């Protein structure tokens, strides 16, 4: 199947590709993290030394190395160093408890672990829980080091690897673990070529990312969205990337948008809806004149229409809301420069094809909710150790997303929720996302989440959990006002039967709303 305008050679190593593309700009700044700056020339040296170091630890091609690392210059070095050596890096969520890391260690069969210094105690506990004794490499500043732990700098002191591993474009390159929202996290296996495709189709094709860009992503590198934003894309075009180890609070993000924290102002900002909500509600939001933003992206959840419009009006800069997944590696459905429709996820990224199918497997008509399927070159190869889930998700050329969408007659796709989030009220389907979108247009609503819970008769009733805007009183009068607001704008059966006010919504480490916790909360 032909895609876009490039051909990927059969023998292909993505790390080698990155180093060769940037060989002519050794003095150009590649990364700036919380403490250091790294040029492309020094990145090349460290990646090659890391590759040699991993091989010196006894790793063989296609064996796994787990990366439990905060966002710093060490993580791109470790990730690319592994790829260059033909070793498979497995970046994992650093916010997970040791029990989850123990599961991933056992499931992946990792032979070596590289961890940021602050995560070393947790990784030692994870190895103990898994009954494993593995070489543990610690990156970052260390006050004291257990005897068995190796410092990352020791890997970088070795003579650099001059020749990349002779890998195939479709060879196992790296894994990313899914969020595990429907069970145990699944090891999603990607190839070397998949990284190239996302860079070509989305970074170059949609964002128009270029060498003079400065990129800042609030999504961490261990997520598919963050990996593309802060590693694959900027390195592919020779741009500069700002990394931040800590949580992306509105205050910390505002400092970086102004350039105070790093000395560099982002031109490309990659956020998530919760963060955009927090920024607009914060008292530290910089003025347009204090920033250099030319384009922003959003993914992870649907971006509320009014949030996108308010951000655009403030910064004179559009947010390109889109949909991606761990299985597809990055965004395949997106708004595009000059073609932004807030409240929608846009249209398929050129090079990808999508279909909405009904329960019978046939395509649904415009205006009808259907299951979203994707066809494109960056689809994962499989879920590791999970044949049943692999067969249910990867269907020949097509990948089942698990998302519900609706497309209008103009070809714009709008999110309707996860398949297991859809509600059936009075015998008719209700998209919680549609109700949330209407609630978010009310000036008194800062954030909200809509869920379904059974009533005394076992029938589903719709509940809206609302965080009121600053200065607004979440009381019975506002609840009735919000119910009337929805009734006036949607079909009668879609309005929330009850409105519950919260100080904040429960969220994952990435800022996604945990609707399952709201569904199980006492009413």
**Is the CB of residue 80 less than 8 Å from the CB of residue 88?**
no
- Interatomic CA distance for residues 348 and 83, integer angstroms: 29
Q: Which helix (H) or strand (E) holds 434?
A: helix 432-439
Residue 208 belongs to some domain of the structure = no
| Digit-coded pLDDT (tens) for 204-226 | 999 999 999 999 999 999 999 99
What is the pTM assigned to this prediction?
0.86
Residue 498 belongs to some domain of the structure = yes
- Interatomic CA distance for residues 198 and 233, integer angstroms: 8
pLDDT value, residue 182 = 47
Residue 161 belongs to some domain of the structure = no
Q: How confident is the model at residue 262 (pLDDT cuts 50, 70, 90)?
A: confident
| Digit-coded pLDDT (tens) for 16-30 | 999 999 999 999 999
**Is the CB of residue 248 less than 8 Å from the CB of residue 275?**
yes
3 state SS of 354:
strand
CATH number for the domain including 448? 3.30.300.30
Residue 478 belongs to some domain of the structure = yes
In this model, does residue 310 exceed pLDDT 70? yes
- Interatomic CA distance for residues 401 and 295, integer angstroms: 27
| Digit-coded pLDDT (tens) for 62-105 | 999 999 999 999 999 999 999 999 999 999 999 888 999 999 99
| Digit-coded pLDDT (tens) for 340-355 | 999 999 999 999 999 9
| Digit-coded pLDDT (tens) for 116-145 | 999 999 999 999 999 999 999 999 987 777
In this model, does residue 273 exceed pLDDT 50? yes
- Residue position matching structure tokens 């102004």: 258
Residue 35 belongs to some domain of the structure = no
Residue 221 belongs to some domain of the structure = no
Between 364 and 181, residue with greater pLDDT: 364
Residue 178 belongs to some domain of the structure = no
Nearest to 494 by CA among 453, 445, 456, 438: 438
Q: Residue 502's domain spans which residues?
A: 429-519
- Interatomic CA distance for residues 399 and 401, integer angstroms: 6
- Interatomic CA distance for residues 51 and 70, integer angstroms: 20
Residue 514 belongs to some domain of the structure = yes
The tokens describing 264, both together, are 């560099």
* Number of domains making up the chain: 1
pLDDT value, residue 261 = 74
| Digit-coded pLDDT (tens) for 179-197 | 654 467 899 999 999 999 9
């Amino acid at each position: 199947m032909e895609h876009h305008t490039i051909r990927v050679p059969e023998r292909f190593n993505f790390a080698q590709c990155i180093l060769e593309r940037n060989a002519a700009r050794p003095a150009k700044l590649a990364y700036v993290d919380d403490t250091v700056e790294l040029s492309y020339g020094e990145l090349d040296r460290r990646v090659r030394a890391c590759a040699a170091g991993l091989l010196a630890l006894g790793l063989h091609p296609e064996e796994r190395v787990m990366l439990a690392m905060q966002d710093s210059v060490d993580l791109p070095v470790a990730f690319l160093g592994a790829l260059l050596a033909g070793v498979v890096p497995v970046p994992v969520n650093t916010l997970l408890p040791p029990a989850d890391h123990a599961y991933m260690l056992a499931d992946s069969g990792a032979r070596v672990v590289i961890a940021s210094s602050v995560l070393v105690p947790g990784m030692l506990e994870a190895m103990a829980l898994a009954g494993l004794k593995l070489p543990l490499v610690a990156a970052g500043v260390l006050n004291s080091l257990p005897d068995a732990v190796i410092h990352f700098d020791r890997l970088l002191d070795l003579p650099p690897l001059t020749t990349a591993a002779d890998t195939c474009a479709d060879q196992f390159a790296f894994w990313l673990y899914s969020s595990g929202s429907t069970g145990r996290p699944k090891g999603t296996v990607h190839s070397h070529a998949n990284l190239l495709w996302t860079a070509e189709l989305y970074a170059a094709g949609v964002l128009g990312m270029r060498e003079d860009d400065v990129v800042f992503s609030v999504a961490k590198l261990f997520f598919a969205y963050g990996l593309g934003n802060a590693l694959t894309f900027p390195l592919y075009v020779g741009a500069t990337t700002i990394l931040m180890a800590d949580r992306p609070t509105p205050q910390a993000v505002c400092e970086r948008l102004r350039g105070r924290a790093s000395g560099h102002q982002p031109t490309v900002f990659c956020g998530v809806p919760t963060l955009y909500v927090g920024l607009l509600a914060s008292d530290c939001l910089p003025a347009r004149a204090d920033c250099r933003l030319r384009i922003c992206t959003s993914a992870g959840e649907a971006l509320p229409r009014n949030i996108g419009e308010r951000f655009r009006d403030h910064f004179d800069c559009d947010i390109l809301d889109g949909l991606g997944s761990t299985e597809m590696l990055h965004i395949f459905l997106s708004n595009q420069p000059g073609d932004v429709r807030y409240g929608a996820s846009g249209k398929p990224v050129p090079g990808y094809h999508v279909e909405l199918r009904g329960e019978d497997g046939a395509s649904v008509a415009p205006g009808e909710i259907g299951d979203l399927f994707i066809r494109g070159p960056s689809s994962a190869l499989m879920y590791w150790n999970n044949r049943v889930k692999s067969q249910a998700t990867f269907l020949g050329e097509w990948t089942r997303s698990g998302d519900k969408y609706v497309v209008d007659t103009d070809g714009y796709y709008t999110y309707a929720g996860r398949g297991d989030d859809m509600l059936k009220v009075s015998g008719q389907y209700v998209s919680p996302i549609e109700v949330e979108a209407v609630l978010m247009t009310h000036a008194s609503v800062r954030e909200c989440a809509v869920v379904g819970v059974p009533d005394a008769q076992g029938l589903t009733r719709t509940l809206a959990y609302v965080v009121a805007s600053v200065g607004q009183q979440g009381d019975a009068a506002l609840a009735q006002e919000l119910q009337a607001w929805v009734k006036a704008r949607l079909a009668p059966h879609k309005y929330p039967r009850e409105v519950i006010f919260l100080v904040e919504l429960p969220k994952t480490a990435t800022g996604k709303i945990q609707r399952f916790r709201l569904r199980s909360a006492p009413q």
